[in-house]
Each structure stands twice: as structure tokens, then as C-alpha cells.
Amino acid sequence: MQRPATAQTRNETELMEKSKRALETATDPMEKLRHQLLSRGSTGILGFGRVFRRMDDDGNRQLNFEEFQEGMNDSGLDKLSAEDHKAMFQAIDKDKSGSISFNEFLESVRPPMSQSRKNVIMEAFRKMDTSGDGVLSVEDIRQTYSVEQHPKFKSGDLTKDQILTQYLANFEQKGTVDGKVTKDEFIDYYSAVSASIDNDAYFDLMIRNAYKL
């Protein structure tokens, strides 16, 4: 017998379907990019961010147009044309320097979030980052991420370790398996989760319950 879908699964499905519909009518290149990534699910923006982070070889967090276009092509974003790439790059490169800020670009891709949502996401990250180094390890996650309310833990289908491994896998996209979660990756993931939840209070409660805030 098929089990009923969990709230998380329903949110994920709704996010993907809603984004696919919005993509059909979107005209702004940045909006098209955001909807195409969200149509891949809550890990779409996270995986996209990792493509660009891997290209930042010198660590200066800047991209010229050639690097930017290469990253777009590597991400398999077939709904975006070369003209779209150029329009996005020019819009972000406000000082016409020929390069764009890595952070500004990723921030513009993330779906808009209320300040209260940003605050609770950062509260969760800071609680987990016990060393204060800006990176979450498996042990950090084990100590702070609560699985007791997870439906598959409550039903006995998965153990605590299996759920923690599954949780970490959310952040290990595009072949990058390092057992670490950076602040940017954490925000990328939860910005997409946020896009699937309309109610601020529900989002806040979900994060607080998960991280025992």
C-alpha cells in the first residue's frame, strides 16, 4: 500500500510544479533562471551555486563574462539563451567593470525571503556551527539536527543515522561529496525550501522544530 506523501514531499512537488508553470510566462532573464532552478526542486539553487563556486579558482569571488557563460552552460539551463546570459550579466555589472560579484549574483538568484525567514535560517546555522568557522561538519549536524519529529523516524522506517545521512545528502550535489556544509550552501538550500512555503509562521516553526531553536 502506498504511504501518503509527507508535508515535505508535498511542498517539494508543489514548488517544482509552480516553478514550471511560472517559467512558461517569465520574460525577465533572472526570473527565468530562478524558476528553472526551482523546477528542479529544493536542491536546484544549491547545485547551481556549487557549479560557480568550483569555477572560482582564484577565490576572489568575481566572475567575468566568459566564466559566467561557461557556468551557465555547465548547469544545463536550456531555457536561457546567450542573449539572456548577456542581459543578466550586464544588469548585475552595474559599475561596468567587466566582472560581477559572486555573492551579489547568487543573492539575486535566490527567491526573495522576508527578513524573519533570513533571521531564523541564520539562527539555525549559527547554532549548528559550534566551532564558528562558517562550515558545518557531520558531527555538528548530529549534535543539533533533531530527527524525532521526522515521519520516517516516528514510523520506524529509518534510523537516526540514516536520516542524518539523508539530510546531509541534500547538500552534496553535482558530485561534490565532502561531508561539509558552508553557510552559502545552507542558505541556497533553505531559500528554495522557503519558496515552497507561503506562510512565514509555518516556515519559522519548521526551522525551529528541526534545529531545536
Domains in the chain: boundaries: 7-109, 115-211
- pLDDT class for 181, splitting at 50, 70, 90? confident
State the DSSP code for 3.
P
Q: Indicate yes or no: pTM above 0.75.
A: no
In sequence order, what are the beta bridge partners of 101?
62
Torsion region of 187: left, alpha or beta (phi above 0 gives left; psi -120 to 50 gives alpha): alpha
- pLDDT class for 29, splitting at 50, 70, 90? confident
On the question of a common fold for 7-109 and 115-211, the answer reads yes
Q: What is the pLDDT of residue 2?
A: 35
Contacts for 12 with CB less than 8 Å, ≥ 6 apart: 41, 42, 196
pLDDT surpassing 90 at residue 119: yes
- pLDDT class for 175, splitting at 50, 70, 90? very low
Give me the mean pLDDT over the 105-128 stretch.
88
Helices (H), the chain: 7-25, 29-38, 44-55, 65-74, 82-92, 102-109, 115-128, 138-144, 151-154, 160-169, 183-195, 200-211
pLDDT tens-place string over residues 35-58? 888 888 878 888 887 777 777 666
Nearest by Cα to 141 from 189, 106, 97: 189
pLDDT surpassing 90 at residue 32: no
- Could you give phi then psi for residue 5, rounded to 5 degrees? -70, 145
pLDDT tens-place string over residues 85-95? 898 888 888 88
Q: Write the CATH number of the domain with boundaries 115-211.
A: 1.10.238.10
Fold of 7-109: Recoverin; domain 1 (1.10.238)
Q: What is the pLDDT of residue 137?
A: 80
Query: Across the chain, what does the average pLDDT equal?
Result: 80
- 140's grid cell: 555538528
Share of the chain above pLDDT 70, in %: 89
Give me the mean pLDDT over the 178-200 stretch.
83
pLDDT tens-place string over residues 132-166? 888 888 778 777 777 776 777 878 888 888 888 77
